[in-house]
Chain A
Amino acid sequence: MSRPAQASLTRLEEIVGSAHVLTDSAELAARQVDEVRPSAVVQPSEAAQVVDILRFAATEKLSVIPCGGRTKLGIGSPPARYDVALDLSRMNRILACDPGDLTLGVEPGVRIENLLQVLGEQRQFLPLAVPFADRATIGGIVATNSSSPLRHSYGAVRDFCLGMEFVTGKGVPAKSGGRVVKNVTGYDLHKLLIGSLGTLAVITRINFRTFPQPQAQGTFVASFADSESAFQFCRTIAHSVLTPQILEVADPAAAHLLFSADAPARIIPKQWSVIITAAGQPSVVDRYAHELGRMAGAANAAELVPLSETEASSIQMRIREFPRTILDAALSAVIFRINAAPAVMPALLARLTHLATKKHLDLTTLTRASGIVYAAFFDEEGMESPSAASASAAREVFQICSLPEFAVQAMLEWCPTEIKRAAGGVWGPMRPEFALMQRVKTVFDPQSVLSPGRFAGGI
């Protein structure tokens, strides 16, 4: 074993107990990041141990990557160094739950599934319908800013996270924000940690506001012959008095994935599909049915189909698990997450389709109408291993996104390690504000102990 040396393991065992320092190869393999394996897995049970581990790592110049349910370790650039996997799955307590205030404080290792169940008993929820829902932990969801279709009406983590406690790369415990629903006291440092892939600090507590479960839900699918009409329909909804919970656009390939197994026969999976979920009391859902029918007709929809409760929950599950479904079907898929304002979406998708055709690749897209496009490219010829065509397509996606008519930011969220290298990175071209991000990194983690090399701008 190269690093950490036996002396390091002894020290780590002193901190967390010998049962919680793992070195056998299966455990190390389970936490590898882009083919790089750690030398040890350390499983703290409380924030004080995280402090000791990071202080020790900083002293010994060990590189640490935090992990939880290990569902999204593939997101980010390949690590520059990786010695210790800091497995937070034992830190899985709900620390505070104040249903009367609709607030909650949790440790990072709490699984979203368990959390939603506990909240469900209070008829509350967190709007995080995220992929890998059976294994994902709240810490990982926050650290990757995992996207949820519920973002359409509830916003993303930054909109309902009230504060965090964390340990910096120097092993210093700190916090920002608080636990009340409105608070401007001090700098919102916790916002920096959302989506930071564990490059700034290790999160030890997250406070959220929670939301009351709606009385009723109704899910509808409208099918269209082309993307223009589908997006026009979304615009009509966005400019109406309706505020749906979910508004997603699936291209024909995505529609096929979402609906193929137990789709009601009346849905035409070969078409562009808009999936809308309405929430509120029953009279509100009725009103949506009426208004959406009218708007769909005006937008030349083939039809508007209301789904049964079972159909709706199955479709919602597949929308939630979209990246996972793609990866299950094609391990070598190249999945971009693109932040695009609604107006550019149809033209952007047309360009991506053109690119896929040119490269003889398949393209599947699922679009959050409020502004996130998931675009998955895969090669029919090489479902299991990456192809040169996908790598060159990946490079071109970044170029397309940088065109002045789009000027959108893209991240290569899921792809094989070789593609990350061949595509010239997963974060797209350098931007001027990356220098500012580097300054922030230096404050939180001056020695680059945490997840070195994994973030934008080489952080």
Chain B
Amino acid sequence: MQPQLIRDLVALLGQNAVLSEAEDLMLYEYDGSVELGSPKVIVFPCTTGEVAEIVRLANRHNTPLVGRGAGTGLSGGAIARDGGIVLVFSRMNRILEIDAVNQRAVVQPGVVNLDLTRAVEHLGLYYAPDPSSQRACTIGGNVAENSGGPHTLAYGVTANHVTGLEVVLPDGEIVRMGGKSIESTGYDLSGLIVGSEGTLALVTEITVKLSRKPEAVKTLLAVYDTLDDTTETVVDITVRAITPAACEMLDGFTLRAVEDYVRAGFPKDCAAVLLIEVEGLTETVEAQAAAITEVCRAHNAREVRVARDDRERDLLWKGRKNAFGALGRLSPMYYVQDGVIPRTRLPETLRCIEEVSRKYDLQIGNIFHAGDGNLHPLILFDERDRAQFQRVVAAGTEIMKHCVSVGGALTGEHGVGMEKNELMPLMFTQEDLDLMSRVRAAFNPAGLLNPGKVLPMGKACGEIRVQSMPVSATTPA
């Protein structure tokens, strides 16, 4: 006999919208991170009204509730840490309106990021935030995590592109905030909710800005024999006030893995490359490409190549965006970090990561948004080796501590989730965290919405959970 909660959910949504068999639940135990948690039941609502009803049911049953998009998140945001209901938005995947005049789209949370761009590109428009998982990840998930992507450098993160939200509060109330206009009066509630990792409200409708496709694009690949020359180039590009649309770095180790997997045309015998894109008017692009080439050469780039056509450009980006997957072929598991540092501290930080790699005897690949100072060290490991996993966690913590010590942050785009919540005291005082916790309680008083995320669960500073056992993670991220 099924538990009452599941019978109630079936009565509400129908048998086809509820999963509760063990083999089904297993598929929702993980996301793109190394975390794990077992839900009791999975539901697939089709409307905001159904979401609100599910929330009310969860309250009646005093059961935790976790929203989930495509499950590509990298910090455990969509994992049911305390069990309960996982509410999957995959059936709420309609683009409700494309408003070309105002350059806005109104979408349901389950719309896949790239599908929105595909739906508007015939109008010369696109949706700018481009997480590497954009072929799979959903806009609802992007809103929860305030996702970035390579082109964040010029165009900003998700928060800069959201103008309105419809949300279901943890008591089942449906509230709209903002709309198509660029500003609204009153406190910036949508600014608070974007990036709140599903802990304040469930977002059921999103109004986003659409951007105009640039006239010209140039993609440059600069090849280096030393890491220092590579990072110094990034510092110099920022200092000289050149703003490319994207400036990505891949180290030699990562490149070789990517090249074996994607055959994107990356050199396999170098220390690192920068993948730099400039966009805009033809005149801007020409001038910026020339200026960047000059900076790269001044820092001993052994080659600066410009992608000749869209095919070559797409291939280079395919290499970049599949890099996590490529490294996944080399190792049963990886742990990807997301620290941010001031751009001027890039050279010393990369040296610090090299040192950590040696100290803990771990292979670390570096592939990241260099122009933003947003690092993604990928620590490779085998989850069957328990001792090694302890070293992975220690190495990761050491890198994050370094980021914070130079004025940086724990996460630039992946979110805190259940991965870094116990590290929050590295950046925030008890007062800061108490205030955040009270803001959460103002929205989510019973704590049923995505419990155990973002804020520490009451452990001492710097401690990290190590009991979670990683599972397979070769999803391209």
A-to-B contact residues, CB < 8 Å: 98-103, 123-124, 145, 151, 155-156, 158-159, 168, 172-176, 178-189, 191-192, 194-196, 200, 212-213, 235, 238-243, 280-281, 283-284, 286-287, 339-343, 370-372, 407-411, 427-428, 431-434, 436-437, 439-440, 442-444, 455-457
Contacts and interface: CB of A to CB of B under 8 A. Distances in A.
A63 to B, nearest CB: 20
A185 B103 contact: no
B182 A182 contact: no
Q: Top 6 A-B pairs ranked by shortest CB distance?
A: A212-B241, A191-B191, A241-B215, A339-B181, A371-B182, A183-B409
Given A124-B241, A342-B102, A436-B443, A243 B280 contact: yes
B303 interface: no
B23 to A, nearest CB: 34
Contacts of A440: 187, 189, 192, 439, 442
Contact of B438 (A178, A407, A434, A443): A443
B431 to A, nearest CB: 5
B144 to A, nearest CB: 10
A196 B160 CA distance: 19
A98 B342 contact: yes
A178 B413 CA distance: 14
Interface string B114-154: 00000000001000000000000000000001101000100
B344 A101 contact: yes
A103 B342 contact: yes
B186 A174 contact: no
Given A180-B341, A185-B411, A280-B281, 20 more contacts: A101-B343, A102-B343, A123-B241, A145-B183, A151-B182, A156-B182, A168-B435, A181-B340, A183-B412, A184-B414, A184-B416, A186-B436, A186-B455, A187-B436, A212-B243, A235-B101, A343-B102, A437-B187, A443-B435, A456-B187
A370 B427 contact: no
Interface in B375-396: none
Given A172-B435, A411-B185, A180 B243 contact: no
Given A280-B281, A443-B438, A239 B409 contact: no
Contacts of A173: 429, 431
Contacts of A189: 192, 435-436, 439
B451 interface: no
A456 B186 contact: yes
A280 B278 CA distance: 14
Contacts of A180: 340-342, 373, 407-409, 412
A195 B124 CA distance: 34
Given A192-B187, A427-B185, A182 B443 contact: no
A349 to B, nearest CB: 15
Given A101-B373, A184-B145, A432-B176, A343 B284 contact: no
B231 to A, nearest CB: 13
Contacts of B432: 174-176, 186
A182 B413 contact: yes
Interface in B152-193: 152, 156-157, 159-160, 169, 175-177, 179-189, 191-192
B439 A195 contact: no
